[in-house]
């Protein structure tokens, strides 16, 4: 490659690497670690061959970072540098040759400590007189984010040390393999996007503005360095690690003291072999000079210490048999195809199944039952099918088709236009039970106060409810048994359950969890259907004629009410005594008929919900956005952009006092 070609390639690589680096520090990984490393290595090689092409903003010269809005900045007293990556043992030997020369020059002993390179988020934690006072992310190595409250939620971070010493330590926050798999399984069931790898999950969890979210995630930490300690002069790195253990820290458990390069090579190989057995993810082995005075003499570059390198293992891929494809139903009805594999060990764990995402992914990759497939763990954590060995097909392989009925309950499965996911529409599907009841009891549905997620989970676990209608079979003793001294709690919930029987019809419609039907559309439907039977017997064509009901929504409503599960549930709720009709509005005056209101700012006499209810009682409706079709903007205190928009469009603006006059 000549200089002109090198310059062109470097100009292509720099913005690409900056983008990948920014995404990485924003806890989004768009390429694998290996792909990123290879691109960075290519740029470094170009700049090594043509030093005049190095620019100040080159990714090779800077540590990327992103300080998240909402966090205070923390300037690190001792920089948190990154490590120089190497990808062959020859490069480790080159590093050793440099260290041997330095050891001879400065007349210092040379030995090494080889440690696992934990795949997580680096953090610095400061203690004063043995008490935790501050925790910060690495950021760009010089400035990080103050995440003290979040650090405190990590169970393996001591809040008080065993000695009243002032010290700053560096550690890697991570999520263990089993914990990560459970976390992603739960997210899959909840139809939340899965974390790409444990590193992203750990980083995203530590950088939450709400520490309660951090506390709910299974974070762990291994300490691997003393950043600053004025009270003790350590001679070696290994000695400092042993002292950290004595203080009560959770120290990196893999730290191998090596006298020479032969032992370093063996340690790297041993760590590579033990990756399968470790309960935490690693993305390499770190080789560090042990003698701290020699480290001081060798020094650092702006970005990396010269006395350490990180050996990166190549990503592991394995071939195995795809024995079957089965479907898993999530808590909101999403049906996900899962590959059942002949068990194979990949990057540390035995893989016997993995998600195939959706129907389109299977078709695009032409994945068939009976194929020999290539499995790789994305980011060394999530197993995925990355290829099919088509040359090994023998004609027995079978194409897969998504089921048209739910594999759990037998209700109809549908894939709506514009979506990649098939869904079960059975209202009493056992796989959806937990989420269905949470929605049924929520504020925008039957509003059963006290019947929250934890209580619902407990009721299901104790088999006190197995469908929505069972809520109305609960006894005082059933509910009281959930809490110690739970009589008052039980009475309050029994009252709330009884009150829910008398809710208006739109609450019942909203509570059923029909796709695309929220409380607003439920209210619209009750203008045309005065009891549940009318709605259940409506045709697709009738539904299509209603304002705000499009073709997809009309089809969804029609098919939902034709399901036997829906018919059975409505009958059970009728028998339980629930109201099935529109409750006549308190105001028979339809003075707002056909009028659209937009609410903005804070009202003195009403909540937003109360004002909306009044407008609807008088025949009007509300919208969240101001347009030329808006009739009135009801403006309270601190009204903002909606008020300005109304003024621009010439929409009538009314005060709360004027609104009260209108409804009097």
Please give the positions annotated as active site.
117
- Rounded distance between C-alpha atoms, residue 309 and residue 577, angstroms: 72
Report how far residue 369's alpha carbon sits from residue 398's, in angstroms, rounded to the nearest whole number. Answer: 5
> Tokens at residue 242, please?
């042993």
Residues 6+ apart with CB under 8 A from 132: 125, 126, 148, 151, 152, 157, 158, 159, 160
Length of the chain measured in residues? 664
Radius of gyration of the chain measured on its C-alpha atoms: 31
C-beta pairs of 56-59 under 8 Å, 24+ apart in sequence: 57/14, 57/18, 58/10, 58/14, 59/14, 59/17, 59/18, 59/21
Residue 144 CA to residue 135 CA, distance in Å, equals: 10
How many angstroms separate the CA atoms of 205 and 288, rounded? 29
**Cα 623 from chain centre:** 31
Cα separation, 232 vs 535, whole angstroms = 78
Residue 81 and residue 244 in contact, taking contact as beta carbons nearer than 8 Å? no
8 Å CB contact between 202 and 118: no
How many separate helices (H) and strands (E) can be counted in the chain?
Answer: 24, 22
Looking from the CA of 66 toward its CB, the CA atoms found within 13 Å total 17
Angle (CA) 503-509-513 rounded to 5° is 120
CA distances from 660 to 35, 324, 408 (A): 64, 65, 53
Return the number of other C-beta atoms located less than 10 Å from residue 644's C-beta: 12
Q: Which residues contact 107 (CB under 8 A, 6 or more apart)?
A: none
Distance CA 206, CA 78 (A): 21
What is the token pair recorded at 287?
């080789």
């Amino acid at each position: 490659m000549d200089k002109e070609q090198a310059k062109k390639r470097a100009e292509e690589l720099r913005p690409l690497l900056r983008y990948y680096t920014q995404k990485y520090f924003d806890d989004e990984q768009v390429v694998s670690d290996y792909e990123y490393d290879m691109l960075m290595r290519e740029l470094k090689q170009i700049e090594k061959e043509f030093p005049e092409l190095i620019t100040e903003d080159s990714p090779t010269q800077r540590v990327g970072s992103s300080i998240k809005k909402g966090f205070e900045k923390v300037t690190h007293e001792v920089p948190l540098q990154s490590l120089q990556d190497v990808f062959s043992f020859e490069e480790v030997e080159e590093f050793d040759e440099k260290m041997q020369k330095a050891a001879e020059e400065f007349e210092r002993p040379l030995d090494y400590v080889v440690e696992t390179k934990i795949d997580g988020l680096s953090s610095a934690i400061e203690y004063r007189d043995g008490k935790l006072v501050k925790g910060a992310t690495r950021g760009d190595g010089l400035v990080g984010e103050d995440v003290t409250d979040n650090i405190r939620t990590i169970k393996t971070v001591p809040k008080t040390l065993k000695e009243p010493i002032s010290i700053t330590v560096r550690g890697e926050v991570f999520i263990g393999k089993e914990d990560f798999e459970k976390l992603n399984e739960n997210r899959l069931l909840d139809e939340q996007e899965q974390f790409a790898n444990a590193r992203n999950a750990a980083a995203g969890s530590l950088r939450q503005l709400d520490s309660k979210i951090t506390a709910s995630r299974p974070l762990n930490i291994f300490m691997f360095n003393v950043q600053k300690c004025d009270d003790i002069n350590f001679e070696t790195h290994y000695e400092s690690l042993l002292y950290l253990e004595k203080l009560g820290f959770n120290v990196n458990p893999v730290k191998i003291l090596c006298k020479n390069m032969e032992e370093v090579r063996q340690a790297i190989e041993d760590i590579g072999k033990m990756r399968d057995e470790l309960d935490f993810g690693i993305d390499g082995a770190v080789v560090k000079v042990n003698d701290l005075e020699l480290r001081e003499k060798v020094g650092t570059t702006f970005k990396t210490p010269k006395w350490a390198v990180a050996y990166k293992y190549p990503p592991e891929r394995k071939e195995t048999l795809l024995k079957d494809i089965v479907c898993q139903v999530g808590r909101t009805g999403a049906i996900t195809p899962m590959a059942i594999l002949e068990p194979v060990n990949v990057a540390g764990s035995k893989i016997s199944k993995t998600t195939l995402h959706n129907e389109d992914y299977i078709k695009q990759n032409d994945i068939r039952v009976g194929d020999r497939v290539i499995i790789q763990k994305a980011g060394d954590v999530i197993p995925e099918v990355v290829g099919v060995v088509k040359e090994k097909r023998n004609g027995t392989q079978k194409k897969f088709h998504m089921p048209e009925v739910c594999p759990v309950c037998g209700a109809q499965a549908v894939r709506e236009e514009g979506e990649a996911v098939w869904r079960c529409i059975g209202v009493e599907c056992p796989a959806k039970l937990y989420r269905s009841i949470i929605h049924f009891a929520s504020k925008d549905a039957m509003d059963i106060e006290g019947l929250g997620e934890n209580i619902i989970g407990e009721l299901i676990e104790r088999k006190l409810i197995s469908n929505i209608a069972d809520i109305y079979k609960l006894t005082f003793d059933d509910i009281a048994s959930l809490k110690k001294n739970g009589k008052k709690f039980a009475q309050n919930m029994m009252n709330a359950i009884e009150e829910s029987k008398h809710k208006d019809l739109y609450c019942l419609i909203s509570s059923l969890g029909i796709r695309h039907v929220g409380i607003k559309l439920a209210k619209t439907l009750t203008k045309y259907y005065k009891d549940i039977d009318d709605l259940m017997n409506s045709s697709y064509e009738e539904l299509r004629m209603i304002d705000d009901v499009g073709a997809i929504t009309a089809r969804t409503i029609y098919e939902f009410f034709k399901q036997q599960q829906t018919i059975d549930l409505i009958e059970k709720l009728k028998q339980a005594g629930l109201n099935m009709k529109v409750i006549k509005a308190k105001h028979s005056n339809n003075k707002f008929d056909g009028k659209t209101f937009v609410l903005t700012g804070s009202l003195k006499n009403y909540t937003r919900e109360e004002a909306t209810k009044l407008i609807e009682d008088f025949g009007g409706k509300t919208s969240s956005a101001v347009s030329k079709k808006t009739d009135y903007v009801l403006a309270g205190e601190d009204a903002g952009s909606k008020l300005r928009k109304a003024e621009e469009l010439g929409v009538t603006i009314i005060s709360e006092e004027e609104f009260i006059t209108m409804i009097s």
